[in-house]
Chains A and B, each alone.
Chain A
Amino acid sequence: MDEITLKNLFAPEGMAALTRLCGYLGAAFAIGMAAVGTGVGNGHTADEACSGMTRQPAAKDSILRLMLISQAVTESAAIFALVISLLLIFGSNALPSLEKALALLAAGVSVGFGAAGAALGSGLTGANACKGLARHPRTQGALTVTMLTAQAVVQTSVVFALVVALILIISSFPGNSFIRAMALLGAGISAGFGAIGPGIGTGLAGSQAVDGVSRNPSASALLTRTMLLGQAVAQSTSIYSLVIALLLIFAI
């Protein structure tokens, strides 16, 4: 193998090294940012579960169970990012090119930032569910259902980011066009950052809905309906980001 220097990294002989390098950088972005969101989200849930157990020791088992369910859902965002990271580190036997290099970096950015937002939102919902269960242990059933419904909507934002990342990893981009390479990086940034806001926003809606269910269980059907309506509107911006990302991948 020729010696690769910064000078010939962007020349044809350096393309293999550049593709690998961008793949590793993408893997770091993916799992690094996902860990930030998942750590904070799961920690927040555990925080509320602990203080709930202090207030209501009789319900400690059901609080622990709800906390673990919520953390499992929150963790799934990080698992998506872990899978993408492993694919970027070990699975990149793609034809090296400038476009492929930037596509791999974009895949990491997309799923990393997307997972951070979704995990934060999911953690907010889980935290308020644990708090609500400590307040009224009898509402456990309605709380679990509302929490899981809310978290399912929250996770859709990271699923959009995951779809874009998988397209960027699996498709072959043999060309060396600088324009297309930048369009692919833009697609990753659009899908990734675009998922942060909707992820946190839908999580905020879910957290207030589970709080309401625990205070007023008779209104839980009405609350779930309002929550889903609000979340659908909040989720729309992540769909715009997905559309822009797909346009940048396929229409340029």
Chain B
Amino acid sequence: MDAITGADLVRAMMYLGAGICMGFGAIGPGVGEGFAAGKACEGIARNPENAGLVTRTMLVGQAVSESTGIYSLVIALIMIFSGV
């Protein structure tokens, strides 16, 4: 095995970091969006007439929750393709 230079180390850690970034970044949005979907189901079971409003609110809440997942995706893609 050839010696690992500083530049190799930086690139290797950027790829490892991309994986860690997307992996851990997906935990929060996944659980949070699940909470929103669960409570929406609970609300619809109580009052099915409000299903349209509840579904709309659920999707808006999930979209906001999703944003941190998309930040992680963007950072991971930057780390993979920035080509340092």
Contacts and interface: CB of A to CB of B under 8 A. Distances in A.
A240 B74 CA distance: 10
A182 B13 contact: yes
A230 B62 contact: yes
B30 A251 contact: no
Nearest to A195: B26
B22 A230 contact: no
Interface residues of A, number: 67
Nearest to A245: B19
A241 B34 CA distance: 17
Interface residues of B, number: 54
B23 A205 contact: no
B30 A247 contact: no
Interface string B9-44: 101110111111011111111111111111111101
A190 interface: yes
Contacts of B59: 229, 233
A231 B77 CA distance: 25
Nearest to A247: B80
A121 B30 CA distance: 11
Contacts of A235: 30
A201 B35 contact: yes
A169 interface: no
Contact of A252 (B23, B35, B42, B80): B80
A244 B55 contact: no
Interface in A94-121: 98, 117, 121
B19 A187 contact: yes
Interface stretch (A24-32, A35-43, A54-62, A209-217): A209-217
A215 B48 CA distance: 12
A240 B80 contact: no
Contacts of A247: 77, 80
B33 A194 contact: no
Given A182-B13, A201-B35, A230 B40 contact: yes
Contacts of A216: 45-46, 48
Contact of B12 (A181, A193, A212): A181
A251 B80 contact: yes
28 contacts: A181-B12, A182-B12, A183-B19, A186-B18, A191-B23, A196-B27, A197-B26, A197-B27, A200-B30, A200-B31, A201-B31, A202-B37, A204-B35, A208-B39, A208-B40, A208-B45, A209-B41, A211-B42, A212-B41, A216-B46, A216-B48, A222-B48, A229-B55, A240-B73, A243-B73, A245-B22, A247-B77, A252-B80
